[in-house]
């Protein structure tokens, strides 16, 4: 695999953080509330907060503060940029790039707080603000990046870069800003820039609508059961949740099933009733594809076409070329080479697994052919039969608080940092817990806001974001968030996680650590502001510890007895670790291939009206087996249409090559080896985007990453025999 050509995608300004949620659009009816601005001096977003670390003052923040702060932030940022371009002095690093770094702090504060509120605790007002501000913010960003006077100053500095005696980080910032402006179209004639501005604004609006559509389409679905027999196999938790859902919707003597992820996947794993599985599976996979007002088929085509047009204006054959150029991959050929190398063995493994599941169906006298909605259910049965292992056995050992403390403990082992609760600092929701991270010398380093539980106002999935990034220039500490959809919790009962949820917690905590351990000068190079196909490395790396017996012994204690997980259970978990990997890899790679197919289309390609038909055709050509669908179907593929992973969904597996290889360093010297941990901190975790990622990686590992540990981990070694 070509990992040698490396270019950085630093996410300047207030770009999405790792796993960041796409902006969600609003509904119509809340306009009044949002535009009724209170007195300006009441608005806690308008001035830096006086709370510890400059933490947002959520106790004082009202929804009515959000829009005025964003609007005022845009005005202030424009004035600050104006002061740079009006400066009669010749451009210097300080009066141009450093001044740019200092600009926009009000907007950054408002935008970051708003983005997390809207994603983690959305309401009609917030959605309305998202819809209203998306095109304005796109225009605002373009106005800066396409400002000819600003570009002239940056370009002059870039030309003279060898004579400026810049530090390594300053040189990196200059290079990144120059590249960023060129990629935004700063070098183009005015007419083409005008078209770029239009495209960006239309895209901002369409991306919001796309997200809105599939969310609303999914939310409109409910499946009501009155026959108790159909509940057979479901866990008590799931049944209780369905009963509560029915009561809330005022159905008597009934159970109601929504498309919330824990519900859908709980049913797919547990429900003996095949019809129930099929109903939920089809509804889940068809979000945004129901030929109603929420249909995303055409929107997907339009978004892809606009991106192709923009890429052409910027002199790239396709959007995938445009994206890859600024990532580690460098070129879509490198992406496709890796995906194709993995696809064949993954598919072969999946076909093998499908045959095994069919055997199970036949052995039980099922008398039907394995369908996509049967996969999870029969995978559990085969796992139980072959490994005497049921994932549910793990749950009592994975109490949420203990898993969280396990993640903290890992950070203590590797980097000497510690965590303490800060109940004096307000969260944005009663369920949010705020923790302070202290370095080995007890110096406070920053805060992490942990928001674990599922609720209707929260977007699906899990992500990390930041209210503020670390910068010595601005003297700011990192304020990061970890958001997920665990639960539901039964009142008074401990929250017990599944194994994959425990991994998710460690994953997002890895992103949080990347933000918290940052030690750079310039905010736009801070923490997770790194290449998209590099940013998953710290997060995925931390997942590696979760199934390790030494790690489980530290945190996986029974929630009632405090007993460690029994050795037989740990052994069974490890023996079964490659089980169903063919399915997981195939499902993921299928979505990656669909993403690339969408974004490798050039500007002259005919418009796509039926996104699902396009996807089906791509998958037919790739030989996907009928028992599996891509993990995300195109009409609700939030990573690539509304989100920031277009032509970049491959990043997860790309970074897996790195994380599997990086974890070998710990295997070699000890899982909790402080020296390796310290080296990782110095070379990768603290440098953010201030260094070239491959250079940083080479310094950590002493050699380029090898793909072998990943192939071994996922059981894909047979790739070289060309199966």
Which residue, 488 or 644, is less far from Zn ion as judged by CB? Answer: 644
For Zn ion, the nearest residue by Cβ is 19
Among 74, 466, 539, 662, binds Zn ion (CB under 5 A): 539
Binding window for Zn ion (CB under 5 A); candidates: 215-223, 398-406, 537-545, 550-558: 537-545
Whether residue 252 lies in the annotated active site:
no
Note whether 537 binds Zn ion by CB under 5 A.
no
The whole-angstrom separation of Cα 126 and Cα 112 is 13
Q: Least separation, in Å, of the C-beta of 684 and Zn ion?
A: 15
Which residue, 97 or 541, is less far from Zn ion as judged by CB? Answer: 541
**β 479-486/463-468 pair status:** antiparallel
Residue 722 backbone zone (phi > 0: left; psi -120 to 50: alpha; other: beta) = left
Residue 85 has which token pair? 């371009």
Which residue, 533 or 536, is less far from Zn ion as judged by CB? Answer: 536
Q: Least separation, in Å, of the C-beta of 16 and Zn ion?
A: 11
Note whether 466 binds Zn ion by CB under 5 A.
no
Note whether 531 binds Zn ion by CB under 5 A.
no
Q: Least separation, in Å, of the C-beta of 539 and Zn ion?
A: 4
Note whether 530 binds Zn ion by CB under 5 A.
no
Q: Least separation, in Å, of the C-beta of 480 and Zn ion?
A: 13
| Sequence-distant (≥ 6) Cβ neighbours of residue 496 within 8 angstroms | 395, 396, 398, 399, 400, 559
Note whether 238 binds Zn ion by CB under 5 A.
no
Annotated active-site residue in 270, 309, 380, 508: 508
Note whether 513 binds Zn ion by CB under 5 A.
no
Binding window for Zn ion (CB under 5 A); candidates: 14-22, 319-327, 417-425, 582-590: 14-22
Q: Least separation, in Å, of the C-beta of 509 and Zn ion?
A: 10
Q: 642 near 21, Cβ under 8 Å?
A: no
Q: Least separation, in Å, of the C-beta of 212 and Zn ion?
A: 24
Which residue, 402 or 507, is less far from Zn ion as judged by CB? Answer: 507
Note whether 711 binds Zn ion by CB under 5 A.
no
Q: Least separation, in Å, of the C-beta of 652 and Zn ion?
A: 8
Note whether 19 binds Zn ion by CB under 5 A.
yes
Binding window for Zn ion (CB under 5 A); candidates: 19-27, 217-225, 365-373, 383-391: 19-27
Q: Least separation, in Å, of the C-beta of 19 and Zn ion?
A: 4
Which residue, 615 or 659, is less far from Zn ion as judged by CB? Answer: 659
Binding window for Zn ion (CB under 5 A); candidates: 31-39, 287-295, 433-441, 533-541: 533-541
Binding window for Zn ion (CB under 5 A); candidates: 18-26, 340-348, 369-377, 430-438: 18-26
Residue 328 has which token pair? 């580690």
Note whether 480 binds Zn ion by CB under 5 A.
no
CB atoms within 10 A of CB 604: 8
Instruction: Please state the φ and ψ torsions of residue 58, each to the nearest 5 degrees.
Output: -65, -20
Which residue, 19 or 410, is less far from Zn ion as judged by CB? Answer: 19
Structure letter (DSSP) for residue 485: E
User: Taking CB under 5 A as the criterion, which residues in 168-227 touch Zn ion?
Assistant: none
Q: Least separation, in Å, of the C-beta of 701 and Zn ion?
A: 21
Virtual torsion, Cα 552, 558, 563, 568, nearest 10 deg: -60
Which residue, 203 or 539, is less far from Zn ion as judged by CB? Answer: 539
**Cα torsion 668, 673, 679, 684: sign:** positive
**β 255-257/433-438 pair status:** unpaired
**β 444-453/479-486 pair status:** parallel
Q: 631 near 352, Cβ under 8 Å?
A: no
Note whether 589 binds Zn ion by CB under 5 A.
no
The site for Zn ion, by CB under 5 A, has a size of: 3
Note whether 10 binds Zn ion by CB under 5 A.
no
Binding window for Zn ion (CB under 5 A); candidates: 7-15, 348-356, 453-461, 531-539: 531-539
Please state, in angstroms and as integers, the Cα–Cα distance from residue 698 to each residue in 139, 534, 667, following that order.
Answer: 39, 13, 18
| Sequence-distant (≥ 6) Cβ neighbours of residue 36 within 8 angstroms | 64
Which residue, 19 or 379, is less far from Zn ion as judged by CB? Answer: 19
The whole-angstrom separation of Cα 715 and Cα 338 is 16
Note whether 542 binds Zn ion by CB under 5 A.
no
The whole-angstrom separation of Cα 391 and Cα 138 is 45
CB under 8 Å, gap of 24 or more: what pairs does 703-711 form? 704/3, 704/4, 705/3, 705/657, 705/658, 705/661, 705/662, 706/661, 707/1, 707/657, 707/661, 709/660, 709/661, 709/663, 709/664, 710/653, 710/656, 710/657, 710/660, 710/661
Which x/- pattern over 131-170 shows residues binding Zn ion (rule: CB under 5 A)? ----------------------------------------
DSSP element (H, E) containing 404: helix 400-415
Binding window for Zn ion (CB under 5 A); candidates: 15-23, 79-87, 199-207, 368-376: 15-23
The whole-angstrom separation of Cα 482 and Cα 452 is 7
Which residue, 539 or 671, is less far from Zn ion as judged by CB? Answer: 539
Q: Least separation, in Å, of the C-beta of 411 and Zn ion?
A: 17
The whole-angstrom separation of Cα 364 and Cα 373 is 17
| Sequence-distant (≥ 6) Cβ neighbours of residue 425 within 8 angstroms | 51, 52, 53, 55, 434, 447
Residues that bind Zn ion (CB under 5 A): 19, 536, 539
**What residues act catalytically?**
508
């Amino acid at each position: 695999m070509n990992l040698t050509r490396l270019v950085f995608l630093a996410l300047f300004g207030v770009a999405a953080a790792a796993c960041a949620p796409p902006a969600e659009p609003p509904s119509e009816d809340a306009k009044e509330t949002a535009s009724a601005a209170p007195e300006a001096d009441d608005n806690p977003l308008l001035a830096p907060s006086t709370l510890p670390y400059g933490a947002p003052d959520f106790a004082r923040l009202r929804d009515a503060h959000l829009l005025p702060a964003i609007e005022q932030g845009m005005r202030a940022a424009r004035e600050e940029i104006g002061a740079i371009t009006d400066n009669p002095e010749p451009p210097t690093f300080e009066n141009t790039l450093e001044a740019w770094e200092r600009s926009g702090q009000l907007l950054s504060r408002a935008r970051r707080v708003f983005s997390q509120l809207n994603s983690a605790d959305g309401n009609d007002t917030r959605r309305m603000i998202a819809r209203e501000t998306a095109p304005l913010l796109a225009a605002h960003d373009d106005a800066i990046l396409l400002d000819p006077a600003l570009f002239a100053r940056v370009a002059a500095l870039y030309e003279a870069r060898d004579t400026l005696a810049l530090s390594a980080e300053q040189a990196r910032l200059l290079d990144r800003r120059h590249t960023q402006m060129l990629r935004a179209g700063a070098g183009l004639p005015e007419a083409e820039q005008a078209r770029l501005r239009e495209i960006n604004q239309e895209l901002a609006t369409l991306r919001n609508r796309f997200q809105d559509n599939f969310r609303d389409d999914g939310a409109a679905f409910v499946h009501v059961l009155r026959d108790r027999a159909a509940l057979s196999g479901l866990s008590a938790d799931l049944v209780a949740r369905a009963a509560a859902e029915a009561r809330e919707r005022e159905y008597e003597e009934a159970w109601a099933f929504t498309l919330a992820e824990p519900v859908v996947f709980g049913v797919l794993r547990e429900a003996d009733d095949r019809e129930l599985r099929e109903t939920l599976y089809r509804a889940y996979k068809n979000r945004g594809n129901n030929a109603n007002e929420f249909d995303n088929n055409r929107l997907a085509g339009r978004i892809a076409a606009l991106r192709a047009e923009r890429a052409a204006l910027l002199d790239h054959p396709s959007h995938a070329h445009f994206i890859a150029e600024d990532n580690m991959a460098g070129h879509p050929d490198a992406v496709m080479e890796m995906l194709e190398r993995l696809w064949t063995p993954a598919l072969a493994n999946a076909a093998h697994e499908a045959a095994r599941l069919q055997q199970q169906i036949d052995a039980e006298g099922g008398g039907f052919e394995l369908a996509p909605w049967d996969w999870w259910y029969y995978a559990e049965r085969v796992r139980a039969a072959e490994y005497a292992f049921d994932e549910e056995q793990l749950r009592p050992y994975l109490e949420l608080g203990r898993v969280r403390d396990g993640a903290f403990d890992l950070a203590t082992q590797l980097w000497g940092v510690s965590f303490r609760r800060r109940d004096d600092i307000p969260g944005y929701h009663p369920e949010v817990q705020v923790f302070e991270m202290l370095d080995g010398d007890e110096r406070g380093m920053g805060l992490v806001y942990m928001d674990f539980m599922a609720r209707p106002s929260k977007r699906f999935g899990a992500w990390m974001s930041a209210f503020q990034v670390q910068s010595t220039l601005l003297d700011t500490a990192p304020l990061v968030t970890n958001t997920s959809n665990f639960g539901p919790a039964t009142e008074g009962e401990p929250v017990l996680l599944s194994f994959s949820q425990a991994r998710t917690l460690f994953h997002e905590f890895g992103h949080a650590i990347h933000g918290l351990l940052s030690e750079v000068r310039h905010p736009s190079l801070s923490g997770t502001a790194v290449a998209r196909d590099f940013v998953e490395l710290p997060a995925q790396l931390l997942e590696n510890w979760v199934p390790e017996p030494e790690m489980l012994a530290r945190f996986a204690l029974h929630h009632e007895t405090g007993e460690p997980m029994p050795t037989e259970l740990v052994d069974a978990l490890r023996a079964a670790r490659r089980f169903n990997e063919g399915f997981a890899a195939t499902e993921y790679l299928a979505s990656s291939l669909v993403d690339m197919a969408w974004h490798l289309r050039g500007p002259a390609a005919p418009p796509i009206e039926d996104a699902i038909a396009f996807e089906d055709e791509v998958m037919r050509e790739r030989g996907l087996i009928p028992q599996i669908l891509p993990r995300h179907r195109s009409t609700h593929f939030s990573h690539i249409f509304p989100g920031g992973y277009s032509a970049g969904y491959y990043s997860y597996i790309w970074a897996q090559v790195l994380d599997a290889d990086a974890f070998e360093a710990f295997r070699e010297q000890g899982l909790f080896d402080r020296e390796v941990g310290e080296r990782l901190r110095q070379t990768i975790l603290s440098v953010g985007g201030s260094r070239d990622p491959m250079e940083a990686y080479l310094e950590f590992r002493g050699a380029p990453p090898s793909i072998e540990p990943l192939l071994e981990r996922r059981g894909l070694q047979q790739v070289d025999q060309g199966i």
